[in-house]
Amino acid sequence: MFRGTSAINLDAKGRLAMPSRYRDELEQRCAGHLVITVDVNDPCLCIYPLAEWQRVEEQLIRLPSAHEKTRLYKRVLIGNAEDLALDGSGRITIPQRLREFSGLGKQVVLVGQLNKFQLWDEQQWNATLEKDLAEIQQADDLPEELLTLVL
């Protein structure tokens, strides 16, 4: 499971050094093979271990293609998906097209999301985190599942 937040610098070639705390797990789970795509809800990218991405694809393929929203999701998620692999130094290269799409600058934040990561521009992440915390504190319509979490 991936959790926590790591501030990382992208180098001039768009390479990201995967934090060492995740490298062993990624090697064991997927031999360092990952898939990156756009996030359909947030201005960031999603990075999946290959097996997790294959689960997403299996779910998408079962959805009816006649439904317009299904086609949109498939087109956006699968059409922007790129295969990545950890290199010998534990780095991945984020494609330029995806860096531009999500507004990634030199300073980024890798956010664990249990079965995947989100990759954010650091300034965008900080603004979103602040907004999210304020919204959570003011929320009166939280789902029952969230209200019963033991924190």
* Segments forming the whole domain that contains residue 54: 5-140
Q: Is residue 147 part of a domain?
A: no
Q: Is residue 150 part of a domain?
A: no
> b/e for 24-49, b at 16 or more Cβ within 10 A?
eebeebbebbbbbbbbeebbbbbbbb
Q: Is residue 102 part of a domain?
A: yes
Model pLDDT, residue 90: 96
Alpha carbons 95 and 83: distance in angstroms, whole number = 10
Q: Total structural domains in the chain?
A: 1
Q: Is residue 63 part of a domain?
A: yes
Model pLDDT, residue 147: 67
Model pLDDT, residue 150: 53
Q: Is residue 149 part of a domain?
A: no
Q: What is the pTM of this model?
A: 0.91
Smallest CA-to-CA distance from 33 within 81, 105, 103 is with: 81
Q: Mean pLDDT of successive 10-residue segments in the chain (151 residues)?
A: 96 96 95 97 97 95 89 94 97 98 97 97 97 84 71 57
Task: Please state, in angstroms and as integers, the Cα–Cα distance from residue 8 to each residue in 105, 111, 118, 130, following that order.
Answer: 11, 11, 13, 19
Model pLDDT, residue 122: 98
| Rounded-to-10 torsion of CA 49, 5, 105, 15 | -40
Instruction: Determine contact, residues 8/22, Cβ cutoff 8 Å.
Output: no
Instruction: Determine contact, residues 142/27, Cβ cutoff 8 Å.
Output: no
User: 13: domain CATH number?
Assistant: 3.40.1550.20
